[in-house]
Structure 1
Amino acid sequence: MKYMLTYDLMETMRVTNQWMGATAQAMGAFPAVQMTPNPWFKMLGAWGEVTERAFSRMVAKPDWNIASVVGEDGRDHLVVVEPVVTKAFGDLIHFKVTDRPEKPRKIMLVAPMSGHYATLLRSTVVSLLPDAEVYITDWHNARDIPVSEGKFDIEDYTLYLVEFMRHLGPDTHVIAVCQPAPLALAATAYLAEDEPDAQPRSLTLIGGPIDPDAAATDVTDFGRRVTMGQLEESAIQRVGFKYPGVGRMVYPGLLQLASFMSMNAEKHSRAFGEQILRVAQDEAGEHDKHNKFYDEYLAVMDMTSEFYLSTVERIFKGLEIAKNEFVVEGRRVDIGKITTVAVKTVEGSNDDISAPGQCIAALDLLTGLPDEKKASHVEPGAGHYGIFAGRSWRNNIRPLVLDFIDANATDATPKKKRRSNVTKLKA
């Protein structure tokens, strides 16, 4: 049961801080305290409210909160989130817009499995819904998956993408954001050799580490600096008794969140200090900018140890995708086999997670793809978040991606008419 104690210790610390926050909030709201003209009690209650909210969000999966979308008829159409493929470690879900004719664009968003839930792409989904049928990979929290379900590494992740693409059919346009970009490229190559007719029409790779060595960042420096033994010893723990995945080896979300916060500790401390003052002065709102950001940022999920370790070892250290040496189930996946799928890369000039050069490296690996089916874009002044969910995405990148999708909406190679195999569930 090695490392289970440390996992439970982290959870105990989280629960303790949540309880302390709730207690302070209750004390600050106590009627007898309100009779005392002392601002200290107001500050105590404000500190408690902010603290309780922060620590409770760390174990809550955020809702999609996409209630409706305006149709071309000017009416609000309800949005229903429905699963179309359900698997142990992740589902493929569809944002079904009710009472709206099916859109010709079919987009599959591949969400990262890097510590946050797929809801991190909520604004991306919202921006695409008016113009497309949107599907997304909804990865599950490893702490909630029983050990009996087995392992899940980057090969399994790739095969999940293969199955999702095969299910949606060849008229799909795939957009992979950040971490899954190299695996989405590998999944497309897998289909190119195994089942060419099931390949998507286009593949857009946004800020992904296709070749981590193409441009150094803190992430790539860390990958080179630490050994696999050190990483396994310092980062991997067993899920504690509180969750269904008890005993599963994971990279805990709370541990990764601590790393995230420490990278910009001063910025986060200032943000929480200012929020406490706003709450004390009755200037904060339930859905204000601070709460909207941190409700998502603090909601973290565990990754299976084999997925985390194989990502570092094979993508960042071994450069298997960059060298076109990636192997799935004992079989080398040749990216050069992609000959018909249009591929576009998107990078941000100020991206400090996946720096410019890392993603565009995919185009050099596509030796069998004609140049007219390759495209790239570097967004000036954009950081990592901005290229898929921020202002740069909304104003510049999204229109370019949709134009790219439309330009490759039909297959130039004549094929037999196919019937879509998308499973439609009743809302």
Structure 2
Amino acid sequence: MKSMATYDLMESARNTNQWLGATARAFGSYPITGLLPIPYFRMLAAWGEVAERSFARMIAKPDWDIKTIVGADGRDHTVSVKTEIARPFGDLIHFHVNGRKPKQRRVLLVAPMSGHYATLLRSTVASLLPDCEVYVTDWHNARGIPVSEGKFDIEDYTLYLVDFMKHLGSDINVIAVCQPAPLALAATAYLAEEHPEAQPRTLTLIGGPIDPDAADTDVTDFGSRVTMGQLEQFVIQRVGFNHAGVGRMVYPGLLQLASFISMNAETHSTAFREQIMRVAKGEAGDFDRHNTFYDEYLAVMDMTAEFYLSTVDRIFKNLEIAQNRFVVDGKQVDIGKITTVAVKTVEGENDDISAPGQCVAALRLLTGLPDDKKASHLEPGAGHYGIFAGKSWRKNIRPLVLDFIDAHSDTKGDKITRLNAV
């Protein structure tokens, strides 16, 4: 009950801050305050508006909000999201472009389960849609999943990927972003031994911790200095009474968000101070750059306790992927068994979450793969977000990934449209 009370107390604090923001906005916006020649009330209303919006976003699942794309015929085509496979902990979804013939390039975008929703990859999806059939792993918020659905750890995650790949067929091209990179590699190795006919055509690993010991970051330092007992004691909580997953042990999204913000606290503080000033001056918009970014960044989801703990224990502490000792469903998978899937790694020079060296380590594990099926790219000046959704992705990395896919396709894909808009 202690951990359930803690979970509800944390949610109560968030709710209270949202209410304080709404109250300050309403109080500071009273018409009578305009009679006073001081900026206090305008600043109060601005602070309240920013605070209310920020704390409200923390429990909202963002919409994909990809309504149309321009087709090769120069016309707008509507986009609808269809569920291919529905599972308790995550779905496989397809972005269907209405009125367009299916594209030859088929891409499975494996979204991270690290505190944010899959919609964090919205701009990645939008950039790929003109040239590809895009499928995405849409993971669910653990606090909305009843305890009766059972556990979900990194082995279950890997088996979900195996099933999704088998469903999509051998002409699929997998792109794994950040956290799922080692598990996507393991899923591909599992298929290589158990269902070789279902292996993907290519596998692109972007900014993932294949070997966390290859380069130090704040994330790896945290994983090495904190014991598993401390994690269970201090960060794992039990979902409160107001949710379908009541009683489920989780790593709360709010704690993960606090961790994200603490890594760049000064940057975030400056961003919010400047936004408050813009609101007070009447220069902010509902969908300005700040709101567009933080509406997504602040929207967090809970992870099951077993998934979070097994990730820290097996990926970061025991290095089971890095040392090719990963076990799935009682069977040790051998990454060296991958012999036909072309593999590319992408890293950002300034990535402070998965530093250069961690992801490219996958290539040394692929002992059975010919060198002409291996590739790597280090993007100069790019941070973690930039290598899959920022300027570096749009201008440099996306074209390279599509070229890599085409180079290893039986039939060459559609002509690539270079979308280099900043």
TM-score calculated relative to the size of structure 1: 0.95
1:120-178 per-residue CA deviation (whole Å, 9 max, x = no partner) reads: 11111011000000000000000100000000000000000000000000110000000
1:338-377 per-residue CA deviation (whole Å, 9 max, x = no partner) reads: 1111101111111111111111111111111111111111
Distance in 2 separating the partners of 1:351 and 1:36? 49
Distance in 1 separating the partners of 2:55 and 2:246? 21
Distance in 2 separating the partners of 1:132 and 1:334? 30
Distance in 2 separating the partners of 1:34 and 1:238? 47
Instruction: Kindly provide the amino acid, as one letter, of the partner of residue 320 in structure 1.
Output: E
Displacement of 1:36 after TM fit? 3.5
Instruction: Kindly provide the amino acid, as one letter, of the partner of residue 135 in structure 1.
Output: Y
Question: Structure 2: which 5+ runs fail to align?
Answer: 412-422
Displacement of 1:41 after TM fit? 1.2
1:218-272 per-residue CA deviation (whole Å, 9 max, x = no partner) reads: 1111111111001111110001111111110000001111122222222212211
Matches within 5 A, 1:377-392: 377-392=377-392
Residue equivalent to 2:258: 258
1:380-420 per-residue CA deviation (whole Å, 9 max, x = no partner) reads: 11111111111111111111100000011129xxxxxxxxx
Matches within 5 A, 1:77-96: 77-96=77-96
Residue equivalent to 1:163: 163
Residue equivalent to 1:2: 2
Residue equivalent to 1:65: 65
Displacement of 1:29 after TM fit? 2.1
**Runs of 4+ that moved beyond 6 A:** none
Distance in 2 separating the partners of 1:401 and 1:255? 34
Distance in 2 separating the partners of 1:41 and 1:303? 40
SS at the partner of 1:173? strand
Matches within 5 A, 1:251-400: 251-400=251-400
1:253-302 per-residue CA deviation (whole Å, 9 max, x = no partner) reads: 01111122222222212211111111111000001111011101100100
1:43-90 per-residue CA deviation (whole Å, 9 max, x = no partner) reads: 111111101000000000011111100001100000101110100000
Distance in 2 separating the partners of 1:247 and 1:368? 45
Instruction: Kindly provide the amino acid, as one letter, of the partner of residue 43 in structure 1.
Output: M
SS at the partner of 1:290? helix
Distance in 1 separating the partners of 2:181 and 2:58? 26
Displacement of 1:329 after TM fit? 1.0
Instruction: Kindly provide the amino acid, as one letter, of the partner of residue 353 in structure 1.
Output: I
Distance in 2 separating the partners of 1:205 and 1:292? 26
Residue equivalent to 1:19: 19
Moved more, 19-28 or 100-109: 19-28
Instruction: Kindly provide the amino acid, as one letter, of the partner of residue 29 in structure 1.
Output: S
Residue equivalent to 1:424: none
Distance in 2 separating the partners of 1:265 and 1:143? 27
Residue equivalent to 2:418: none
For the pair 1:226 / 2:223, whether they are aligned, the reply is no
Residue equivalent to 1:200: 200
Distance in 1 separating the partners of 2:261 and 2:308? 19
Instruction: Kindly provide the amino acid, as one letter, of the partner of residue 338 in structure 2.
Output: I
Distance in 2 separating the partners of 1:263 and 1:103? 40
What value does the CA root-mean-square deviation take over the aligned residues?
Answer: 1.0
SS at the partner of 1:308? helix
Distance in 2 separating the partners of 1:241 and 1:131? 45
Distance in 2 separating the partners of 1:153 and 1:246? 18
Distance in 2 separating the partners of 1:20 and 1:245? 28
Distance in 2 separating the partners of 1:405 and 1:260? 33
Amino-acid identity (%) = 76
For the pair 1:214 / 2:214, whether they are aligned, the reply is yes
Distance in 2 separating the partners of 1:270 and 1:344? 37
For the 8 Å contact 1:201–1:410, the answer to whether it is kept is no
Instruction: Kindly provide the amino acid, as one letter, of the partner of residue 143 in structure 1.
Output: R
Distance in 2 separating the partners of 1:216 and 1:255? 22
Residue equivalent to 2:143: 143
For the 8 Å contact 1:176–1:204, the answer to whether it is kept is yes
Distance in 1 separating the partners of 2:31 and 2:296? 33
Instruction: Kindly provide the amino acid, as one letter, of the partner of residue 347 in structure 2.
Output: E
Residue equivalent to 1:52: 52
SS at the partner of 2:129? helix
Question: Structure 1: which 5+ runs fail to align?
Answer: 412-427
For the 8 Å contact 1:69–1:79, the answer to whether it is kept is yes
Count of aligned residue pairs for this structure pair: 411
1:95-139 per-residue CA deviation (whole Å, 9 max, x = no partner) reads: 110001110000000000000000111111011000000000000
Instruction: Kindly provide the amino acid, as one letter, of the partner of residue 357 in structure 1.
Output: G
Instruction: Kindly provide the amino acid, as one letter, of the partner of residue 90 in structure 2.
Output: G
Distance in 1 separating the partners of 2:75 and 2:25? 42
TM-score calculated relative to the size of structure 2: 0.96
Distance in 2 separating the partners of 1:96 and 1:340? 29
Distance in 2 separating the partners of 1:257 and 1:399? 32
